[in-house]
Structure 1
Amino acid sequence: MVRKRFMGISAVLLITVFILMACTDEETAIAAEDAATYGIIETHMSTEEKLEDFYYMYKLLEDNYPFFNVNKRLYNVDWLKNKKKYEKMIKITKNDAEFFVAIDKILNDLNNPHTHVFNGNVYRSYYKHFYPDEHPVLNYEKSMKRYGFDGNVENIGLDSDFDFLATNDEVLKTAILIENKVAYMKIDSMSYNHIKEDYAKVEKFLKEVKDYEKLIIDIRGNTGGFDDYWKNIVGFLIDDTLKAEYYCFYRGNYRDKYDLYKVPLSKPIRKLDEEALRKFPSEVKEDYDYYTKNLVIVKPWNILDFKGKVYLLVDRYVFSSAEKFASFAKDSGFAILIGEPTGGDRVFAEIPFAYLPNSGLVIRFSAELGINNDGTINMETKTTPHIRVDATPNEDFTKDACIQAAIKD
């Protein structure tokens, strides 16, 4: 009887072990296409070389990345404690393509769109953006070899996932929703090469609607780009200079490695007034090394004498520079925000790139903890709209909850 019970317990334990092993294998399994699919060259790295790269990346982020605690609170992911799991993922990769996919999955666990590994198209897009300046990371010899790139930018097309660098697609749409009353602007991207091009279009449209009661600016789905795009629009519509100020905190010393990533006018956190520190989450004082106060200023430069209300439509995809527009519009009083909380990660300093020493793979990672005016972490609480409604866009504006909220306000 005892023997049968023992055998029964053993069977249960074995089944449990097999289930746990199956779950673990599923968590760490890597499936990849051939290397060319990711725009990289196969160099047959050894497991030791792959692990060295992983440890380098892990330490780099451990020392410099700002959102580990935010990731735990929002997504219940303790990235640093997952080290053994990530090691296993690296060890079971059979080639460089699988290693690339493993790194991609590991970084995706951080749930931050600014943090990712470059595929070949993204690498070339950024290389072209910074050219003719020699970017200290992108010009790393092993990186150029990894991405099969000879430095010739003539035939580089820009990756669609990063079209805020430059895109030939139209990013600005305008419309009259209600004649003589409600005007509408849709901005899909703060695209670099549309800043000057769209300036004239914006001016022309705003002159046509300067006597309207309401202007709706729709940035839903806008993942960012360059601040000058949205500042041009604000400048047309204001009579007086608008300002907003934001604290940002940094940790680690990776930024000191390259002039491009250094933070001008930063100060050691010990010099920050204790009363100010008490307004921020405790991790700011405990985990960060230096800070800046960033003043966003927009001056009127082509006054149209617009007296109507401005509404800014936002959703969860509003990120980076578009997020800066959203927070500035709210905090300066420029616009009434409608929709749902944004995606966050308002940044001021250059977002760092880093190459992995053996593979040459290039990663990009957030390295700035932005604070909202209420003392909360921007990446955690985002920017909340004044009027919260379903932010789903609808081609029929009479059925679009955000647009209708602005019309009825």
Structure 2
Amino acid sequence: MKKIFKGKIKRKHLLVLLLLISVLSLIGYKSINIFKSTLTQEEKVEDFLYMYDVIEKSYPYLEVNKRVNNVDWLANKENYLARIKKTKNDANFIKELNNILADLNNNHTHVISDSSFFEIVTNAYDRLGWYDFFDDEIVKKRYESIGKIEFNKKTFSTEDLILKDIVEEKVGYIFLPEMTPRGESIEENISITSEYIKTLENHESIVIDIRGNSGGNDAYWEEVISRIIPKSYNTSGYILFRDSAIINNYVKSRDINTKDIKDLPKEIVNNGPVEITSKFKSFTKSDWIVESKDSINFKGDIYLLVDKVVFSAAESFSIFCKENGIATLIGETTAGDGGGYDPVLFKLKNSGLIVRMASDMYLTNSGICNEEFKTTPDYIIENPKRTKNFSDDKCINKVLELVE
């Protein structure tokens, strides 16, 4: 999931709550449906057309989706409309909306389709004052009428933090299953991790494994890496916004200082997606600083293991490591969409449903769109899946080959 940018503005509790939303949007679940058919076809069509209009004017990755996934989402309007008209009740309507949004191929963009989601989002955002719809009666009634989630056993990561040497006194290993601790605070978890990191000062190499990690809290990985690196590092990038009422209100509510898109450096324009000067209104320069803190000042080699699941906050860690040359990346191309602000929310007036949508496009310091090109490792491994035994793990074997 995305962070509440920037590194120095950390709303830890909000980010932990937002992790749940991201994880649930990424991994399978089923809801206990107790819907009543209350919306007319006209109301469903009106809500869909409004959602379509918002995405057309606000969503940052329409052209990226064309290039990467060969999906022209806007061109599918009539097909989507026909599908909406065929929905027989509210439950089918909500499911179809999410199916339609799934064509955008972005895990930050979906309908909040469960009362558990709504409760989490309300707790996370309502006190911040960014949105005015949480107290709307139609919104409350909608989410009171919707079923709660019946969690599958695999909804959350069942993996635990692993801290152990691959090669005793030579190659250390830190496995981070999520970018947030389970069952304890960040401080408690980091305290445990720090004790192990202290034993690695004279090791030749450290492996940080984030395979299967779909995100969480940026503050978590910052706390981990700050205890290893010998100095502070800064990653710069550019966050671009489109010109729509919803995005403009979001930028204003977040008090984000932006510049006109025509002021974007020429190098960024040349390297970035062709549509950035015609489809985007403004940008902000991001400076992402992670300071060395209580560090072992490690002077050996660091290896970061990644795979196609690495997304959002986990992807931000990948960007940070690659942009700064902190670690050698091993595995497969990541899932992307790291580096920017958290998704924006908007309401569908007839159904009272809340839609969550990617709010911006993040470009690296050289102008590369992370959502389009993701992060490519230095060494690509076929079948990079993590295994129970180090000896069977292809990524670990590559590390051992490099450290010999």
Normalized against structure 2, the TM-score is what? 0.84
1:376 is displaced (CA, Å) by 2.5
Are 1:125 and 1:159, in contact at CA under 8 Å, matched by a contact in 2? no
Residues 197 and 37 from structure 1, CA distance in 2 versus in 1: closer, same or farther, beyond 3 angstroms?
same
Residues 350 and 161 from structure 1, CA distance in 2 versus in 1: closer, same or farther, beyond 3 angstroms?
farther
Please point out which of 111, 129, 139 is paired with 1:143.
Answer: 139
Counterpart code for 2:394: A
Please point out which of 187, 202, 205 is paired with 1:211.
Answer: 202
Larger RCO: 1 or 2 (CA < 8 Å, sep 6+) = 2
1:310 is displaced (CA, Å) by 1.0
Residues 156 and 399 from structure 1, CA distance in 2 versus in 1: closer, same or farther, beyond 3 angstroms?
closer
Does the alignment pair 1:405 with 2:398? Answer: yes
Once residues 159 and 143 of structure 1 are traced to their aligned partners in structure 2, the CA distance between those partners, rounded to angstroms, is 27
Segment of structure 1 superposing worse, 80-89 or 342-351:
342-351
Residues 62 and 156 from structure 1, CA distance in 2 versus in 1: closer, same or farther, beyond 3 angstroms?
closer
Segment of structure 1 superposing worse, 223-232 or 340-349:
340-349
Are 2:180 and 2:217, in contact at CA under 8 Å, matched by a contact in 1? yes
What SS class does the counterpart of residue 147 from structure 1 fall into?
Answer: helix
Match of 2:19 in 1: none
Listed as ranges, the gaps of 5+ residues in structure 1 are 1-35
Does the alignment pair 1:191 with 2:202? Answer: no
Match of 1:200 in 2: 191
Segment of structure 1 superposing worse, 292-301 or 371-380:
371-380
Counterpart code for 1:108: A
Match of 1:224 in 2: 215
What SS class does the counterpart of residue 227 from structure 2 fall into?
Answer: helix
**What's the CA shift string for 1:338-381, capped at 9, x where partnerless?**
10111001142231111211101111111211113443311111
Are 1:146 and 1:361, in contact at CA under 8 Å, matched by a contact in 2? yes
Match of 2:14 in 1: none
Once residues 149 and 332 of structure 2 are traced to their aligned partners in structure 1, the CA distance between those partners, rounded to angstroms, is 37
Are 1:255 and 1:263, in contact at CA under 8 Å, matched by a contact in 2? no
What SS class does the counterpart of residue 282 from structure 1 fall into?
Answer: coil
Does the alignment pair 1:124 with 2:119? Answer: yes
Match of 1:69 in 2: 63
Match of 1:311 in 2: 303
Are 1:326 and 1:383, in contact at CA under 8 Å, matched by a contact in 2? yes
Segment of structure 1 superposing worse, 123-132 or 382-391:
123-132
**What's the CA shift string for 1:34-60, capped at 9, x where partnerless?**
xx9356642510000000100110000
Does the alignment pair 1:330 with 2:285? Answer: no
Are 2:171 and 2:206, in contact at CA under 8 Å, matched by a contact in 1? yes
Residues 136 and 37 from structure 1, CA distance in 2 versus in 1: closer, same or farther, beyond 3 angstroms?
same
Match of 1:32 in 2: none
Segment of structure 1 superposing worse, 361-370 or 169-178:
169-178
Are 1:45 and 1:95, in contact at CA under 8 Å, matched by a contact in 2? yes
Residues 103 and 125 from structure 1, CA distance in 2 versus in 1: closer, same or farther, beyond 3 angstroms?
same
1:211 is displaced (CA, Å) by 1.5
Counterpart code for 2:279: D
**What's the CA shift string for 1:215-272, capped at 9, x where partnerless?**
1111111111111000001110112111111112110231333578546121111222
Aligned residues: 366
The alignment yields a C-alpha RMSD, in angstroms, of: 2.6
Are 2:210 and 2:305, in contact at CA under 8 Å, matched by a contact in 1? yes
Counterpart code for 1:401: K
Once residues 187 and 261 of structure 1 are traced to their aligned partners in structure 2, the CA distance between those partners, rounded to angstroms, is 33
Residues 226 and 132 from structure 1, CA distance in 2 versus in 1: closer, same or farther, beyond 3 angstroms?
same
Are 2:231 and 2:297, in contact at CA under 8 Å, matched by a contact in 1? no
Listed as ranges, the gaps of 5+ residues in structure 2 are 1-29
Are 2:32 and 2:150, in contact at CA under 8 Å, matched by a contact in 1? no
Are 1:222 and 1:317, in contact at CA under 8 Å, matched by a contact in 2? yes
1:73 is displaced (CA, Å) by 1.3
Residues 246 and 109 from structure 1, CA distance in 2 versus in 1: closer, same or farther, beyond 3 angstroms?
same
Once residues 47 and 255 of structure 2 are traced to their aligned partners in structure 1, the CA distance between those partners, rounded to angstroms, is 26
1:209 is displaced (CA, Å) by 2.1
Segment of structure 1 superposing worse, 100-109 or 367-376:
367-376
What SS class does the counterpart of residue 107 from structure 2 fall into?
Answer: coil
Match of 1:320 in 2: 312
Residues 46 and 324 from structure 1, CA distance in 2 versus in 1: closer, same or farther, beyond 3 angstroms?
same
Counterpart code for 2:81: E
Segment of structure 1 superposing worse, 296-305 or 135-144:
135-144
Q: Within 5 A, what are the aligned runs for 1:4-403?
A: 37=31, 41-120=35-114, 121-130=116-125, 136-148=132-144, 171-191=160-180, 194-253=185-244, 254-258=246-250, 262=254, 264-390=256-382, 391-403=384-396
Counterpart code for 1:286: S
* Identical aligned residues as a percent: 35
